[in-house]
Structure 1
């Protein structure tokens, strides 16, 4: 299983990165590569095409319905609906040519209507030929090829979920490994459950200690993300969703003070092999 960071800017696209989007891929026993996208925030559809033809995605998981995590679903709908026959995509070696059915999209209750409103569908129109939308049910696993997704409710001003993705190790396919993605959340029991014994914790760290102490129930700081990784025994911490206005390295400096394991700052194009 491998993670490719498509976009890692927090709250809005930054000068160096699109908003949140993460491509998780794994090969099954027959050698077929399965592709799961976690979030498709503002600006992310463009860089996604460097790594994967969107028509070849097997599923999308939306952590919540703020634009920096789902706005480019509108562009994806256009891509799937109007793509010229035979167009081969932009990713190296990509392009099966056409989908055999609608793309599975998992998200909070209300995702289908939110996407329709965001795109501006006319009355009577539907996205169902391109997108098959399903509501997360906390704790209920979803299978995407060799990947098992388990949504976990977390704390944010709107319904939000983190996701534990378990699949075959890139180095030893007989071993199962887990990527835990927090989405947007403050410290909460759900975050603790996500981080527990995860091989990699992909954690947002949008807030800064001292500056944002009076604002709770929305985001993590680097320190709170690091504490969750430490308490949960996570093997590696990747900090993401950092707004362009934050001081460079602040999230890392906060996390390293409380988490003794390896820490990375997410960057576009970064690949993490589990």
Structure 2
């Protein structure tokens, strides 16, 4: 499985970096887009096929979803590269109404995307459930399985002001990627990331939380490093750092707790997952 980073700027797009968007190419050839914030569709036009992507949302804050209505326009109306089949869309339970209103002609009549997407809601343990390390045995019970082609997807609750999910993606080759989306510290992150090849983890607060940041929102580099170490992941990639953020501080914080490979996500980087 390969991941192309289309955008990784936190909270909003930067001058040379789109907001959150990560394109996966699974071993069966399916394209899966994780989030689609402002600027991501333009990068997808360079690196992928907008008419042929499945859509997976961690949550629906604007920096993770605002290019979706334009993606729907492409899939419906592009004269030569429109979608030729219905793709899968997985997201929060609020996705049909939230996205439908974003694309609507009038707020009272949300757009209906059922012509181009089969819409499915995440299934995940309750937020107050005891975190259980991910394993083949737990996948069918604690972490119900969803599928896109031969790729398996699982979710756990994130800690964020809106309905939000951590997600684990495993393709038929056995490659595994965990994406934190946006979350504050939670034991569910290390649990669902157990043994993953790559943990793509937000580090919005830089090296450490200075105590004055809004609570229950985001992670620091230190917290990302702790989760990666507890999970025993193969590689940690730090993302969702805003244009005014401290990427080098985030690296320092993560490396203080995780002794495996740590790097910063950057636009256009192609990451081999599981090899």
Same fold (TM over 0.5): yes
CA distance, structure 2, for counterparts of residue 154 and residue 71 of structure 1? 20
Distance 2:230 2:76 in 1: 45
Where does residue 99 of structure 1 map in the other structure? 83
Pairing partner for 1:132 from 109, 114, 118 = 118
Does the alignment pair 1:68 with 2:63?
A: yes
Write out per-residue CA displacement over residues 158-190 of structure 1, whole angstroms, 9 at most, x where no aligned residue.
11001101124xxxx4xx121000000011122
What 5-or-longer segments of structure 1 have no aligned partner? 88-96
Distance in 1 of aligned mates of 2:153 and 2:190: 17
- Does the Cα contact within 8 Å between 2:169 and 2:176 map onto a contact in 1? yes
1:255-266 alignment to 2 at 5 Å?
255-266=254-265
CA contact (8 A) 2:158 2:165 kept: yes
Which segment drifts farther, 207-216 or 178-187?
207-216
* Aligned residue in 1 for 2:181: 183
Q: Which residue does 2:136 correspond to in 1?
A: none
Residue correspondence of structure 1 range 138-149 to structure 2 within 5 A: 138=124, 139-149=143-153
Distance 1:11 1:232 in 2: 26
The equivalent of 1:91 in structure 2 is none
Distance 1:108 1:125 in 2: 17
Please, which moves more after superposition, 127-136 or 38-47?
A: 127-136
1:121 aligns with 2:105: yes
Change (3 A) 1:146 1:126: closer
What secondary structure does 2:171 align onto?
strand
Question: Pairwise CA RMSD of aligned residues?
Answer: 1.6
2:228 paired with 1:229:
yes
Aligned residue number for residue 94 of structure 1: none
Distance 1:5 1:69 in 2: 13
User: Which residue of the partner structure matches residue 127 of structure 2?
Assistant: none
TM-score (norm 2): 0.87
1:6, 1:23 within 8 Å by CA — same for their partners in 2?
Answer: yes
Tell me how far apart the structure 2 counterparts of residues 25 and 130 of structure 1 sit (CA, whole Å). Answer: 20
Deviation at residue 102 of structure 1 after TM alignment: 2.5
> Post-superposition, which runs of at least 4 consecutive aligned residues in structure 1 deviate over 4 A?
none
- Unaligned 5+ segments in structure 2 are 125-142
